Amino acid sequence: MSSGRLWLWAFGMIVVAFLIAPIFVIIIVSFNDTALFSFPPTAWSLRWYRALWDSRSWREAGALSLYLAVAVTIASLLLGIPAAYALSRSRWRATRLVEFMLVSPVVIPVIVLAIGLYFFLAPLRLIGTPAGLFLGHTLLAFPVVIVIAGGGFRRLPEATELAARSCGATFLRAFWHIALPAVRPSIISSAAFAFLTSFDEVVLVLFLGGPGTNTLPKRIWEAVKFELDPSLTAVSTLLIALTVIALGVAELGRRARHAAPAGEAL
Protein backbone atom coordinates (compact mmCIF):
# COMPACT_ATOMS: atom_id res chain seq x y z
CA MET A 1 0.00 0.00 0.00
CA SER A 2 1.44 3.37 -0.97
CA SER A 3 1.95 6.03 1.66
CA GLY A 4 -0.70 8.23 0.08
CA ARG A 5 -3.20 5.40 0.39
CA LEU A 6 -2.17 4.91 4.02
CA TRP A 7 -2.88 8.57 4.78
CA LEU A 8 -6.22 8.26 3.03
CA TRP A 9 -7.13 5.31 5.24
CA ALA A 10 -5.98 7.13 8.38
CA PHE A 11 -8.14 10.12 7.46
CA GLY A 12 -11.05 7.88 6.52
CA MET A 13 -10.87 6.13 9.88
CA ILE A 14 -11.04 9.48 11.68
CA VAL A 15 -14.17 10.36 9.68
CA VAL A 16 -15.69 6.97 10.48
CA ALA A 17 -14.89 7.48 14.17
CA PHE A 18 -16.61 10.87 14.01
CA LEU A 19 -19.66 9.26 12.42
CA ILE A 20 -20.08 6.37 14.82
CA ALA A 21 -18.63 7.72 18.09
CA PRO A 22 -21.90 9.33 19.21
CA ILE A 23 -23.75 6.07 18.68
CA PHE A 24 -21.27 4.07 20.73
CA VAL A 25 -21.25 6.66 23.50
CA ILE A 26 -25.05 6.56 23.77
CA ILE A 27 -25.15 2.78 23.92
CA ILE A 28 -22.42 2.55 26.55
CA VAL A 29 -23.76 5.37 28.73
CA SER A 30 -27.23 3.78 28.71
CA PHE A 31 -25.86 0.89 30.78
CA ASN A 32 -24.35 3.31 33.30
CA ASP A 33 -25.36 2.97 36.92
CA THR A 34 -25.07 6.64 37.92
CA ALA A 35 -27.45 9.45 37.06
CA LEU A 36 -24.62 11.53 35.57
CA PHE A 37 -23.78 10.89 31.94
CA SER A 38 -20.27 9.75 32.89
CA PHE A 39 -18.09 7.94 30.39
CA PRO A 40 -16.75 5.34 30.62
CA PRO A 41 -19.23 4.15 33.25
CA THR A 42 -17.85 3.11 36.62
CA ALA A 43 -20.63 0.63 37.36
CA TRP A 44 -22.99 -1.13 34.98
CA SER A 45 -26.71 -1.66 35.35
CA LEU A 46 -29.97 -1.88 33.48
CA ARG A 47 -31.72 0.59 35.81
CA TRP A 48 -32.46 3.14 33.07
CA TYR A 49 -34.15 0.50 30.98
CA ARG A 50 -36.19 -0.50 34.02
CA ALA A 51 -37.04 3.16 34.70
CA LEU A 52 -38.14 3.48 31.08
CA TRP A 53 -40.36 0.43 31.31
CA ASP A 54 -41.85 1.59 34.63
CA SER A 55 -42.66 5.05 33.31
CA ARG A 56 -46.17 5.28 31.99
CA SER A 57 -45.49 8.34 29.86
CA TRP A 58 -42.59 6.65 28.05
CA ARG A 59 -44.60 3.49 27.50
CA GLU A 60 -47.58 5.39 26.12
CA ALA A 61 -45.35 7.49 23.89
CA GLY A 62 -43.73 4.34 22.51
CA ALA A 63 -47.08 2.69 21.87
CA LEU A 64 -48.50 5.74 20.08
CA SER A 65 -45.41 6.04 17.87
CA LEU A 66 -45.62 2.37 17.04
CA TYR A 67 -49.33 2.50 16.07
CA LEU A 68 -48.76 5.66 14.07
CA ALA A 69 -45.73 4.28 12.24
CA VAL A 70 -47.55 1.06 11.34
CA ALA A 71 -50.59 2.97 10.05
CA VAL A 72 -48.35 5.37 8.09
CA THR A 73 -46.38 2.49 6.59
CA ILE A 74 -49.57 0.76 5.40
CA ALA A 75 -51.03 3.99 3.99
CA SER A 76 -47.74 4.86 2.28
CA LEU A 77 -47.57 1.45 0.65
CA LEU A 78 -51.20 1.69 -0.49
CA LEU A 79 -50.61 5.13 -1.99
CA GLY A 80 -47.02 4.69 -3.07
CA ILE A 81 -47.01 1.31 -4.81
CA PRO A 82 -49.74 2.07 -7.39
CA ALA A 83 -48.21 5.51 -7.97
CA ALA A 84 -44.72 4.08 -8.39
CA TYR A 85 -46.05 1.40 -10.75
CA ALA A 86 -47.97 3.90 -12.84
CA LEU A 87 -44.97 6.21 -13.05
CA SER A 88 -42.65 3.41 -14.12
CA ARG A 89 -45.01 2.23 -16.89
CA SER A 90 -46.28 5.57 -18.11
CA ARG A 91 -45.18 6.94 -21.46
CA TRP A 92 -46.89 10.25 -20.91
CA ARG A 93 -44.50 13.17 -21.32
CA ALA A 94 -45.44 14.94 -18.09
CA THR A 95 -44.61 11.83 -16.04
CA ARG A 96 -41.36 13.34 -14.85
CA LEU A 97 -43.15 16.43 -13.61
CA VAL A 98 -45.75 14.38 -11.75
CA GLU A 99 -43.02 12.27 -10.19
CA PHE A 100 -41.13 15.36 -9.14
CA MET A 101 -44.25 16.81 -7.53
CA LEU A 102 -44.95 13.56 -5.72
CA VAL A 103 -41.48 13.37 -4.20
CA SER A 104 -41.25 17.11 -3.50
CA PRO A 105 -42.17 16.78 0.21
CA VAL A 106 -38.77 15.16 0.59
CA VAL A 107 -36.77 18.19 -0.49
CA ILE A 108 -38.93 20.84 1.16
CA PRO A 109 -37.71 21.72 4.67
CA VAL A 110 -39.96 19.89 7.11
CA ILE A 111 -40.57 23.10 9.02
CA VAL A 112 -42.05 24.69 5.87
CA LEU A 113 -44.19 21.60 5.41
CA ALA A 114 -45.33 21.91 9.03
CA ILE A 115 -46.48 25.51 8.55
CA GLY A 116 -48.21 24.63 5.29
CA LEU A 117 -49.93 21.65 6.88
CA TYR A 118 -51.11 23.85 9.72
CA PHE A 119 -53.16 25.94 7.31
CA PHE A 120 -54.43 22.80 5.68
CA LEU A 121 -55.34 20.94 8.88
CA ALA A 122 -56.62 23.81 11.03
CA PRO A 123 -59.94 24.25 9.14
CA LEU A 124 -60.44 20.49 9.36
CA ARG A 125 -59.91 20.64 13.16
CA LEU A 126 -57.11 18.09 12.87
CA ILE A 127 -54.42 20.06 14.72
CA GLY A 128 -53.25 18.20 17.80
CA THR A 129 -54.91 14.95 16.76
CA PRO A 130 -53.26 11.65 15.81
CA ALA A 131 -55.25 11.77 12.55
CA GLY A 132 -53.60 15.06 11.55
CA LEU A 133 -50.21 13.66 12.40
CA PHE A 134 -51.00 10.54 10.41
CA LEU A 135 -51.70 12.67 7.32
CA GLY A 136 -48.48 14.63 7.80
CA HIS A 137 -46.33 11.55 8.31
CA THR A 138 -47.86 9.85 5.29
CA LEU A 139 -46.95 12.89 3.21
CA LEU A 140 -43.33 12.41 4.31
CA ALA A 141 -43.24 8.63 4.06
CA PHE A 142 -44.93 7.81 0.78
CA PRO A 143 -42.31 9.57 -1.39
CA VAL A 144 -39.85 7.11 0.16
CA VAL A 145 -42.02 4.27 -1.18
CA ILE A 146 -42.25 5.92 -4.61
CA VAL A 147 -38.48 6.28 -4.87
CA ILE A 148 -37.56 2.79 -3.63
CA ALA A 149 -40.46 0.72 -5.03
CA GLY A 150 -40.32 2.78 -8.25
CA GLY A 151 -36.71 1.71 -8.67
CA GLY A 152 -37.87 -1.90 -8.36
CA PHE A 153 -40.61 -1.52 -10.98
CA ARG A 154 -38.24 0.23 -13.36
CA ARG A 155 -35.80 -2.67 -13.19
CA LEU A 156 -38.60 -5.11 -13.99
CA PRO A 157 -39.01 -5.40 -17.76
CA GLU A 158 -42.52 -4.56 -18.92
CA ALA A 159 -42.45 -7.75 -20.99
CA THR A 160 -42.96 -9.70 -17.77
CA GLU A 161 -46.51 -8.46 -17.34
CA LEU A 162 -47.18 -8.31 -21.06
CA ALA A 163 -46.46 -12.04 -21.18
CA ALA A 164 -49.04 -12.61 -18.47
CA ARG A 165 -51.53 -10.34 -20.23
CA SER A 166 -51.06 -12.18 -23.52
CA CYS A 167 -51.80 -15.44 -21.72
CA GLY A 168 -55.18 -14.00 -20.80
CA ALA A 169 -54.58 -12.47 -17.38
CA THR A 170 -56.47 -9.29 -16.63
CA PHE A 171 -54.50 -6.13 -15.91
CA LEU A 172 -55.14 -6.45 -12.16
CA ARG A 173 -54.23 -10.11 -12.14
CA ALA A 174 -50.97 -9.44 -14.00
CA PHE A 175 -50.12 -6.69 -11.53
CA TRP A 176 -51.07 -8.67 -8.44
CA HIS A 177 -49.61 -12.06 -9.35
CA ILE A 178 -46.67 -11.09 -11.54
CA ALA A 179 -45.38 -7.54 -11.10
CA LEU A 180 -45.97 -7.18 -7.37
CA PRO A 181 -44.27 -10.43 -6.24
CA ALA A 182 -41.33 -9.69 -8.54
CA VAL A 183 -40.54 -6.43 -6.76
CA ARG A 184 -41.30 -7.74 -3.25
CA PRO A 185 -37.73 -7.04 -2.02
CA SER A 186 -37.98 -3.36 -3.01
CA ILE A 187 -41.34 -3.13 -1.31
CA ILE A 188 -39.97 -4.62 1.90
CA SER A 189 -37.11 -2.07 1.85
CA SER A 190 -39.47 0.80 1.19
CA ALA A 191 -41.76 -0.32 4.03
CA ALA A 192 -38.81 -0.41 6.44
CA PHE A 193 -37.78 3.12 5.48
CA ALA A 194 -41.34 4.45 5.55
CA PHE A 195 -41.71 3.03 9.05
CA LEU A 196 -38.52 4.74 10.24
CA THR A 197 -39.55 8.01 8.62
CA SER A 198 -42.71 8.12 10.71
CA PHE A 199 -41.27 6.60 13.86
CA ASP A 200 -38.45 9.18 14.10
CA GLU A 201 -40.38 12.22 12.97
CA VAL A 202 -39.97 15.22 15.31
CA VAL A 203 -40.70 18.51 13.56
CA LEU A 204 -44.29 17.88 12.48
CA VAL A 205 -45.31 16.60 15.89
CA LEU A 206 -43.80 19.66 17.57
CA PHE A 207 -45.78 22.05 15.39
CA LEU A 208 -48.96 20.14 14.69
CA GLY A 209 -49.17 17.99 17.80
CA GLY A 210 -51.07 18.62 20.97
CA PRO A 211 -51.61 17.01 24.35
CA GLY A 212 -53.11 13.98 22.58
CA THR A 213 -50.11 13.30 20.39
CA ASN A 214 -47.17 12.61 22.68
CA THR A 215 -45.15 10.44 20.33
CA LEU A 216 -41.81 9.01 21.31
CA PRO A 217 -39.76 11.64 19.45
CA LYS A 218 -41.78 14.41 21.10
CA ARG A 219 -41.21 12.90 24.53
CA ILE A 220 -37.48 12.60 23.75
CA TRP A 221 -37.35 16.18 22.50
CA GLU A 222 -38.88 17.46 25.73
CA ALA A 223 -36.56 15.32 27.84
CA VAL A 224 -33.44 16.49 25.97
CA LYS A 225 -34.50 20.10 26.07
CA PHE A 226 -35.75 20.38 29.63
CA GLU A 227 -34.72 17.59 31.99
CA LEU A 228 -31.89 15.45 30.55
CA ASP A 229 -33.40 12.35 32.13
CA PRO A 230 -30.88 9.44 32.06
CA SER A 231 -33.60 7.17 30.66
CA LEU A 232 -32.99 9.11 27.44
CA THR A 233 -29.86 7.11 26.73
CA ALA A 234 -31.83 3.89 27.17
CA VAL A 235 -34.58 4.98 24.80
CA SER A 236 -31.99 6.22 22.29
CA THR A 237 -30.23 2.87 22.43
CA LEU A 238 -33.53 1.15 21.68
CA LEU A 239 -34.03 3.52 18.73
CA ILE A 240 -30.56 2.69 17.44
CA ALA A 241 -31.36 -1.02 17.75
CA LEU A 242 -34.58 -0.46 15.81
CA THR A 243 -32.65 1.40 13.09
CA VAL A 244 -30.17 -1.43 12.77
CA ILE A 245 -33.04 -3.93 12.48
CA ALA A 246 -34.83 -1.83 9.83
CA LEU A 247 -31.58 -1.43 7.88
CA GLY A 248 -31.03 -5.17 8.18
CA VAL A 249 -34.50 -5.83 6.74
CA ALA A 250 -33.86 -3.39 3.89
CA GLU A 251 -30.46 -4.96 3.23
CA LEU A 252 -31.98 -8.45 3.12
CA GLY A 253 -34.47 -7.07 0.61
CA ARG A 254 -31.61 -5.68 -1.46
CA ARG A 255 -29.71 -8.98 -1.38
CA ALA A 256 -32.78 -10.96 -2.39
CA ARG A 257 -33.21 -8.54 -5.29
CA HIS A 258 -29.70 -9.18 -6.54
CA ALA A 259 -29.84 -12.91 -5.98
CA ALA A 260 -33.15 -13.52 -7.76
CA PRO A 261 -33.85 -10.88 -10.39
CA ALA A 262 -37.48 -11.23 -11.47
CA GLY A 263 -36.95 -14.92 -12.25
CA GLU A 264 -38.40 -15.96 -8.91
CA ALA A 265 -41.82 -14.69 -9.95
CA LEU A 266 -42.03 -16.57 -13.20
Partner 1 sequence: MATLATWAFRDRGGFTLLHVTRLIGDETYHDAFVTTFRTATITTVVCIALGYPLAYLMATTGPRARALLATAVMVPFWTSVLARSLAWVILLGRRGVLNAWLLSLGAIDQPLPLLFNSLGVQIGMVHVLLPFMILPVWSVLARLDPALPLAARSLGASPARTFLHIVLPLSVPGLAAGVTLVFMLAVGFYITPALLGGPNDLTIASLIEMVVRDLLDWSFGAVLSLALLAAVGAIFALGAVFAGVDRIAAREGRA
Strand-pairing partners, residue 32, are 44
Query: Which is closer to partner 1, CB of 162 or CB of 224?
Result: 224
Instruction: Count other Cβ atoms within 10 Å, centred on residue 172.
Output: 8
Q: State the Cα–Cα distance between residues 196 and 147, nearest whole angstrom.
A: 15
Q: Residue 65 Cβ, how far from partner 1 at the closest point, in Å?
A: 11
Q: Residue 266 Cβ, how far from partner 1 at the closest point, in Å?
A: 28
Query: Which is closer to partner 1, CB of 162 or CB of 228?
Result: 228
Distances (CA, A) of 96 to 92, 99, 256: 9, 5, 29
Q: Residue 89 Cβ, how far from partner 1 at the closest point, in Å?
A: 18
Q: Residue 199 Cβ, how far from partner 1 at the closest point, in Å?
A: 8
Query: Which is closer to partner 1, CB of 80 or CB of 178?
Result: 80
Q: State the Cα–Cα distance between residues 147 and 238, nearest whole angstrom.
A: 27
Long-range contacts of 32-40 (CB under 8 A, 24+ apart): 32/230, 32/233, 35/230, 37/228, 37/230, 37/233
Question: Which letter does DSSP use for residue 144 in this model?
Answer: H
CB 189 within 8 A of CB 176: no
Query: Which is closer to partner 1, CB of 70 or CB of 228?
Result: 228
Burial of 2 by CB count in 10 Å (0-12 exposed, 13-18 middle, 19+ buried)? exposed
Residue 141: CA atoms inside 13 Å, Cβ hemisphere, count?
32
Q: Residue 70 Cβ, how far from partner 1 at the closest point, in Å?
A: 18
Query: Which is closer to partner 1, CB of 83 or CB of 187?
Result: 83
Amino acid at position 183, single letter: V
Q: Residue 178 Cβ, how far from partner 1 at the closest point, in Å?
A: 26
Query: Which is closer to partner 1, CB of 77 or CB of 174?
Result: 77
SS3 49: helix
Query: Which is closer to partner 1, CB of 11 or CB of 53?
Result: 11
